[in-house]
Structure 1
Amino acid sequence: MSYYYLISLLTILSSFLFQTSFSTEPYLTYICTGSNYTENSQFGKDLNCLMQDLNKVNGTDNGGFRNASSGQAYGLAQCRGDVKPDDCHACINTTTSDLTKTQCPGRRRGISCGTAEKLLRDLAKKAPVARKPNMFAECTAELPEKESGNRTLYGMAQCSMDLSPKKCTSCLNQAVSTLSACCTRNIGGRVYYGSCIMRYEIYPFLGK
């Protein structure tokens, strides 16, 4: 199961927040926080209805994005822009079940989580105004031979579709700052926020 394709699924107190950690392993990271609720409570019932609604995303309509609410629960789900529709649908169906039943049961909030800098900033500019309906952008850049032996950098960025272009830019700029501070001397880096993601590697990873 390609779990790492999912960007985020959130419901906040009025919700539950979930965010993937797009690793190369088929496993999601879950961070469960917030106060507890009981399955038979009104919030528990609202949450179950919400998850059923989010499962209707099919990966084709609206760029694989869906947001919904039910009573006190609010959530959104969105797949990465390079994901096939069938993979998107299967991932969200599995994740909504795991999140509420096995990973964060009874919790109101959960999270599941030089040249390089220029590449990142290019991505931050492109994603908010992307023509695709999912605020998704990808770029490549050639590293100088003295740095890497003519390696190519591959990067992607995407925002949650409930963000305005301005807020998308702000989120991605924060991601650029984080990656620039920690990772631009490394061969790859990833940042996952609740509303945007950014990643770069020295190997092609989109669609995989």
Structure 2
Amino acid sequence: MAPSASSALRLLVCFAVVLLAVAGDDQPLYSVCSTSGNYTANGAFDKNLRKLTSLLAAVAPTAAGFAVSSLGSGVGAYVSGLALCRGDVSSSDCGACLATAGTQARELCPRSRQAVLWFDHCMLKYSDADFFGRVDLDHQIYMYNVNNVSSDPARFDAEVAELLGKLRAEAAASSLYFAAGISQTGADRELYGLAQCTRDLTREDCDLCLGAVIGQLPSCCAGKRGGRVLSGSCNFRYELYPFLNV
């Protein structure tokens, strides 16, 4: 039996960035690493983690951008992992992002038994505990464009909430737990957005997760020209420029 879930890695990060300045594909947007219970280099956990990240990077691109797996048994050897690619990226970009994530995880989180890494095109999460099927809102970051909309921010915020609410419902109902869309704002601008969940969740939990992160719009992104919240189980993003590959 896999070890029980641990609360060793709990974090809410408030992280601001100018979203118009796009980071390189090989650089994570953010990473969270556990600081206790580190593993031994070249030990059973280390070897299983390396195998697992390679496996996820190979499987997810062939499975519509999502994969979960676990290796090993018993305390000190067991590792579970989840890979999620943004629903609009190609399989080749998905695989490249996850391969990079596996390498970056060992560099940014050396010997950490739990970690979450978010990239623009993918997310990688691993743990020494079984976390599949559980909504993860403990690990969460938000990012926003430091520039504000030029006029009527309240109306703009309402338009963002309306689009994301629509995408929330569509994502929870879709087979890929992903939805993207475009809407016309009151200022005759196009607003782009996406919403996505990890596919180990039930539809109800996907909807719950997206409701929770979208509910942070007033505190994270009020009046901002772009923003996103990324958690360990779901995420959303909106922009006033085209960023979707659809």
Corresponding residue to 2:202 among 164, 174, 196: 164
Name segments (4+ residues, structure 1) moved above 6 Å. none
Map 1:67-146 onto structure 2 (within 5 A). Answer: 67-71=68-72, 72-100=78-106, 102-113=107-118, 114-130=158-174, 133-144=175-186
- Tell me which protein shows more helix as a share of its residues: 1
- Whole-Å separation in 2 of the counterparts to 1:184 and 1:118: 14
TM-superposed deviation, 1:98: 1.8
* Counterpart residue number, 1:8: none
TM-superposed deviation, 1:104: 0.9
1:118 partner amino acid: E
The answer for unaligned runs of 5 or more in structure 2 is: 73-77, 119-157
Q: Is the Cα contact below 8 Å between 2:60 and 2:84 reproduced in 1?
A: no
- Whole-Å separation in 2 of the counterparts to 1:92 and 1:142: 34
TM-superposed deviation, 1:51: 1.8
Query: CA deviation digits over 1:131-190, x for unaligned, max 9?
Result: xx421101222221xxxx311111001110111111100110011111233314111110
1:207 aligns with 2:207: no
**TM-score of the two chains, using structure 2 as the length reference:** 0.69
TM-superposed deviation, 1:42: 2.3
Match of 2:69, SS? strand
Number of aligned residue pairs: give it. Answer: 185
- Whole-Å separation in 2 of the counterparts to 1:54 and 1:205: 25
Map 1:27-66 onto structure 2 (within 5 A). Answer: 27-28=27-28, 29-35=30-36, 36-57=38-59, 59=61, 61-66=62-67
Query: CA deviation digits over 1:58-104, x for unaligned, max 9?
Result: 52x3211111100110001111111011111111112112212x111
Q: Is the Cα contact below 8 Å between 2:101 and 2:117 reproduced in 1?
A: no
TM-superposed deviation, 1:57: 2.2
- Whole-Å separation in 1 of the counterparts to 2:88 and 2:171: 13
TM-superposed deviation, 1:49: 2.3
* Counterpart residue number, 1:3: none
Q: Which moved more, 1:193-202 or 1:149-158?
A: 149-158
Q: Is the Cα contact below 8 Å between 1:65 and 1:77 reproduced in 2?
A: yes
1:163 partner amino acid: L
Identity %: 36
Query: CA deviation digits over 1:7-42, x for unaligned, max 9?
Result: xxxxx86x999xxx9962112022222421111332
- Whole-Å separation in 1 of the counterparts to 2:245 and 2:23: 14
1:197 aligns with 2:235: yes
The answer for unaligned runs of 5 or more in structure 1 is: 1-11
Match of 1:49, SS? helix
- Whole-Å separation in 2 of the counterparts to 1:52 and 1:156: 27
* Counterpart residue number, 1:179: 217
1:141 partner amino acid: S
